[in-house]
Amino acid sequence: MNMMSDNLQKVAGEKMKNILSLLTKNPILGVLAGALTTAVLQSSSATTVMAIGFVSARLMGLPQAISIILGANIGTTITAQIIAFKITDYILAFVFIGFLVSFIAKTERVKSVGLSILGFGLLFLGIETMGDSMKPLATSPVFIDMISQVVDVPILGVAVGTIMTVIVQSSSATIAVLQNLAATAGPDGVTSVIGLTGAIPVLLGDNIGTTITALLASIGQSRNAKRVAVSHSLFNISGCLIFIWFIPAFAAFIQAISPAGPEVEVISRQIANAHTSFNVAMTLLWLPFIWLMVKIVMRIIPEKRAGSKVVSDPAEPMYLDDRLMSQPVVALQMVAQEIERCGETIRVSLHDISAALRDRDSKRIDEAARKAEAAGELCQKVTDYLAEIFAAGALNEDQAAHTMKLMRGLNDVERVAALCGHIVKSCKGVKYSEAAIDEAQKAMAIAEEMFAGAMKALASGDSSDAKRVFAASASLVEAETTARKAHMKRIAAKECSPAMTAVFNRLLYDIGRVGTSCMNIADLVKADKDVLDYFMIDPELTQESASQA
């Protein structure tokens, strides 16, 4: 299943981003996006973990995330529906074709298609193997007695399904096992060993068990992220509490809409239809009441008491999440947000250094130095995160190529953070003349403007922003040259000490190097306008969702 899911993501590539871009204030589109994403990933848990990551990163509001959860529960039923089609006679053909395509493929995309087919074949080969192993159990009196207890006591079936899924961490896998078990004939050789009324409680338990993954993923995340996980649990638990009272009627309904025939031959399809019907019914039930679910989870996990204050460490990632590395589209979206945050910290540091130099404020210049150092550490952590994504092998060729370019731009962002530290060293404890401070400030203002423009160009991919950075570089060179000439005139006029020449030139040199790094970033955008914008899902949506979160 992992092989199939990972390679499907590589094949989907940026289409996954287009699916996620459907996340708007319209909950119906949110349900659709959740269903489509889960159908691709073949795992509602993976989609839920994505939603938790987005909410934790403040890219999505809680109502949007809940609509994604509703859709994910529908999307995950696709696996059971596929399993219900009897393809056992063609399993080895899928395995052979998948291997052959992946073996002879010359491009990564075709290779990923082959591995997806191979994973699909191996998945069903495994299910067939489990089914063959279960057939002898049908004649075991001990096993039959255990199954009869589950059939007679629905709550026991729910417990069994929940425990199975908590252990396996995949409701798709446990439902596949349930389908295969149910398709095993009992002692009479005609009826199912468990029957539809016995399978439905286990199915309800499987749905509850799959929420454990989301709850575990929410540990250490924001309160809103925890609320997303709780809403996933609330959806499935509420459904179980409703449907468990109507199992005979629900089973009769499923039998009516499913193909007729001997029970052991049609029960797999009946279980798949029951899974789909349950999730569609609960989605239709909750969809108009998303606001109510928001209130419930807000009551379960309330806001912190007034007066409590959380201070974000600028050196620590706010968005990166190791658990999202297997979903590169989402992980790279988090990287893009982190780089923007890092760039803003550096821009503020440049501004504060200039202001502190003017006011001769040593405390403020020290604080600006700490911010720049923290931003440099954050850049390094982002670089390490990208390296781990590469190592995980989750990127397709297109994503990998854009990520390499992004790392190149990130190196220049980190270099500007380091140059801020160098500039601070040239400012601390040095008594510059007022004229020298004015000249350095002019150069610093241009460098700050260039860096802000370079980061804007990187985020937007707008070549006009990059052109403005190049245009400002001429002004920075002129400001440096003017400052050096004016300094030498002051020395000749005995207004400045010759001993100040080296440190002042070093200050101007480092400011100039900031401009050079900004030009490198702008040049990267000029060569490929989608460097950072490639990873962003929807900037306008991001801002709107952040305000709601």
Domain 322-548 has CATH 1.20.58.220: yes
How many beta carbons lie within 10 A of that of residue 443, not counting itself?
24
Contact between 417 and 346 (Cβ < 8 Å): yes
Least reliable range by pLDDT among 13-22, 133-142, 400-409, 469-478: 13-22
pLDDT at 138 over 60: no
**Cα(71)–Cα(28) distance, integer angstroms:** 9
DSSP state of 185: B
Q: How many other β-carbons are positioned within 10 Å of the β-carbon of residue 451?
A: 27
For residue 173, the model assigns a pLDDT of: 74
pLDDT at 363: 87
Q: Which residue has the higher pLDDT, 399 or 88?
A: 399
| Confidence band of 513 (pLDDT split at 50, 70, 90) | very high
Band of the pLDDT at 191, cuts 50, 70, 90? confident
Query: In the prediction, which pLDDT does 537 show?
Result: 55
Does pLDDT of 546 surpass 50? Answer: no
Extents of the domains making up the chain: 2-300, 322-548
Assess whether pLDDT exceeds 60 at residue 451: yes
Helix, strand, or coil (residue 59): coil
pLDDT at 296: 92
Kindly indicate the confidence band of residue 542, based on its pLDDT and cuts at 50, 70 and 90.
very low
Q: How confident is the model at residue 393 (pLDDT cuts 50, 70, 90)?
A: confident
Angle between helix 196-209 and 263-286 (nearest 10): 40
What pLDDT digit, counting tens, does each position of 84-114 carry?
776 667 788 889 999 999 899 888 788 888 9
Q: With beta carbons less than 8 A apart as the criterion, state whether 53 and 324 touch.
A: yes
pTM reported for the whole predicted model: 0.70
pLDDT for 189 equals 67
Q: Of 284, 274, 280, give the one whose Cα is nearest residue 81.
A: 274
pLDDT of 313 over the 90 cut: no
pLDDT in tens, 493-507: 888 888 888 988 999
Beta-bridged to residue 371, according to DSSP, are: none
Over residues 362-369, mean pLDDT: 88
Helix (H) or strand (E) holding 541: helix 539-548
**pLDDT single digits (tens) 36-69:** 878 776 677 777 777 777 777 666 778 888 888 8
Is 544 a residue whose pLDDT tops 90? no
Percent above pLDDT 70 for the chain: 85
Q: Which residue has the higher pLDDT, 305 or 427?
A: 427
Q: What pLDDT, on a 0 to 100 scale, did the predictor assign at position 307? A: 44
**In this model, does residue 401 exceed pLDDT 90?**
no
For residue 103, give the nearest of 92, 114, 119, 90 by alpha carbon. 114
Predicted confidence band of residue 548 (pLDDT cuts 50, 70, 90): very low
Percentage, residues of the chain above pLDDT 90: 21
